[in-house]
Structure 1
């Protein structure tokens, strides 16, 4: 089996869009899925974190059982917006070798509309894997653009989360795996400023 890059974006994507996951309380999640856009109650002045990994989202929201995260959404967004956010993002923590010093990293963090964390990817039992998954935090202009310009569709995938969880709990990992979104390595420009790896935008798909 080919080794996975330590830090790369893996996502369900098409030629024009990429799917990310979020989980909300039903008062926000259900109207968002019904109308295909986030409701007024969704605050555009707060940082929002999007996750291309379905299983990392399941780890974060407990398969849609944690309080305030009962509605799991698959948000299909424009690749152009996602790429812009990554290009303008800063790591959420200081990394020696990537930043000149902590002061320069803090200045970059303050002016960046997006920030990136690399967290251990998860398997079907939500155990950590030896490579990392991206979380992308959006604030300011990026959060507003995500909600109002980049979003193509919003689906409620809570039933899928519960179905996969039930199969995992029953020990049928093969059946559970067949239901997972097809997440492939996402072609990107250089992620070096974020400590990432992955194919370039010119890689044939």
Structure 2
């Protein structure tokens, strides 16, 4: 079956969806240990979450980039995730979707969340012909994410290292079997139509 050009592919349950982030060990390890973000985690800045495990691996270089050595899987409430989608604005201007650039900029300033569609990645972190969602949270959305939506936080750095080692040694089939199992997320048009340029 052909992948849609833009879609949310994620690991999810009836009530939660898993997103990924990468932090320094000073933030990531306590977050995973306590199941919540530590006091040093900044609530006053935008934080980006990614339902795509492989896009996160691309972004953090399998946990080798400075300040991104600890990769966490954050299980959040689906109703929170869907609130974020309903209240999001695209991070870039889309002429067919926004009436004009000024209107888009005004929406972007007001929106507590923003969406980017970036090329999905394969096991070698090469781009594939379809895009996956990144979700930026700011202001009210950051507070809700940390205090209301987060169900659990786990350290998936060892998993990332194991998959990376298998890929590096040419054992792609074994690496593929270890990937988190994802499927298309049932995002309804009523909270996604404004996010498809």
Structure 2 length-normalised TM:
0.98
* Aligned residue in 1 for 2:39: 40
Counterparts of 1:74 and 1:97 in 2: how far apart (Å)?
A: 35
Q: Deviations 1:43-82 (Å, cap 9, x if unpaired)?
A: 1111000000000000000000100000000000000000
Give the paired residue count: 195
* Aligned residue in 2 for 1:180: 179
* Aligned residue in 2 for 1:57: 56
* Aligned residue in 2 for 1:203: none
Alpha-carbon RMSD across the aligned residues, in angstroms, is 0.6
- Secondary structure, in 3 states, of the residue corresponding to 1:137? strand
Pair 1:195 & 2:196 matched: yes
- Secondary structure, in 3 states, of the residue corresponding to 2:76? strand
* Aligned residue in 1 for 2:68: 69
- Secondary structure, in 3 states, of the residue corresponding to 1:135? strand
Which aligned segments of 4 or more residues in structure 1 are displaced greater than 2 angstroms?
none
Equivalent residue runs for 1:1-205 within 5 Å? 2-190=1-189, 191-195=192-196
Counterparts of 2:120 and 2:187 in 1: how far apart (Å)?
A: 19
Counterparts of 1:135 and 1:44 in 2: how far apart (Å)?
A: 18
Structure 1 length-normalised TM:
0.94
Counterparts of 1:131 and 1:106 in 2: how far apart (Å)?
A: 26
* Aligned residue in 2 for 1:202: none
